[in-house]
Amino acid sequence: MKSRQFIQSLEKGLMILKVFSGSRASLSVTDIAGSCGMNMATAHRYLFTLKELGYLEQEAATRRYRLTPKVLKIGVAALNTMDLKNRLLPHMLETTKTFDVTTQCAILDDTDVVVLDRVRSREVVNWDIGVGSRLPVYCTAMGKAILAFLEDEAQTGLLQRIRFERHTRHTLGTPEELQADLARIRDSGYVFSDQELTMGLRSIAAPVFRNGRVEGAFGISYAVNRANEAGLESALVKQVLQIAAKVSF
């Protein structure tokens, strides 16, 4: 039983918006009613309301609904209130320029890291994640950087909720492997991740602190074949640590 304070109509409305995130672009009343377990009349009322408010639009022909750019407004506000991004951005630009690597910053949300911003290297990679995308903590450099320095209770809770999935042959598969890795990371202060999420891609990351607590992470990614360049990776590690230290407090 929910608290007396809980407003169910709001939950339903947001549930509908969320369904759009998971599924395809355009959905019909029936689709929504089905996937939310609502009566069709109910689903229709909510869709109608969201349309009125401008968060959804309806194709005239098919009567199907799709998200409008207005929904972005809400999320982007959240992004901009994260000053981690603002503190890091100049360093990201500079690092990308100097080493021609992709730099990014991210924060934790449950068992995912959320990419706040990224500066792309000039080399076009087949792989491209965007601002706001989510990646699993346990197989990303930034994820592990944050995880390693999380408060104990938060960390153990989180570790239990992780559902391990093998993305490449380098992906860690068990909590134990991850624990061991985290211990190593705590020692060295940074993460070196070799193709744990995507084949062909390496990353280096370090945590950023705010008042002594992990706030997020700074990371860089580059193609494996660049490992040949003499001294590159050690320079990158140095760079990552230096920047993470500079913006931490």
Return residues touching DNA (CB under 7 A).
Answer: 4-10, 12, 28-30, 38-42, 44-48, 58, 61, 63-64
Q: How far is the CB of 53 from DNA (least distance, A)?
A: 13
Whose structure tokens read 């999320």? 75
Instruction: Compute the C-alpha angle 87/88/92, nearest 5°.
Output: 150
Six token digits for residue 152: 């104990």
d(CA 177, CA 169) in angstroms, rounded, equals 14
Q: Which is nearer to DNA, 49 or 168 (CB)?
A: 49
Residue 40 binds which entry of DNA, its own copies, none, with Cβ cut-offs from 5 to 8 Å by kind?
DNA
Q: How far is the CB of 249 from DNA (least distance, A)?
A: 23
Q: Which is nearer to its own copies, 106 or 172 (CB)?
A: 106
Residue 122 binds which entry of its own copies, DNA, none, with Cβ cut-offs from 5 to 8 Å by kind?
its own copies
Residue 120 binds which entry of its own copies, DNA, none, with Cβ cut-offs from 5 to 8 Å by kind?
its own copies
Q: Which is nearer to DNA, 39 or 156 (CB)?
A: 39
Phi, psi of 187 (to 5 degrees): -65, -50
Residue 39 binds which entry of DNA, its own copies, none, with Cβ cut-offs from 5 to 8 Å by kind?
DNA
Please, which contacts does 158-165 make with residues 24 or more away whose CB atoms are closer than 8 Å?
158/110, 158/111, 161/110, 161/111, 162/111, 162/136, 162/137, 162/138, 163/111, 164/138, 165/136
Please count the other Cβ atoms lying within 10 Å of the Cβ belonging to residue 100. 13
Q: How far is the CB of 109 from DNA (least distance, A)?
A: 22
Q: How far is the CB of 225 from DNA (least distance, A)?
A: 50
d(CA 104, CA 208) in angstroms, rounded, equals 12
Report, in angstroms and rounded to the nearest whole number, the Rg of the chain calculated over CA atoms.
Answer: 21
d(CA 134, CA 32) in angstroms, rounded, equals 24
Q: Which is nearer to DNA, 7 or 76 (CB)?
A: 7
Q: How far is the CB of 221 from DNA (least distance, A)?
A: 41
| Residues contributing to the site for its own copies (CB under 8 A) | 2-3, 5-7, 9-14, 17-18, 20-22, 24-25, 44-46, 48-50, 52-53, 55, 66-81, 85, 89-90, 93-94, 96-97, 107, 109, 114, 117, 119-120, 122, 124, 128, 130-134
Helices (H) then strands (E): counts for the chain = 9, 9
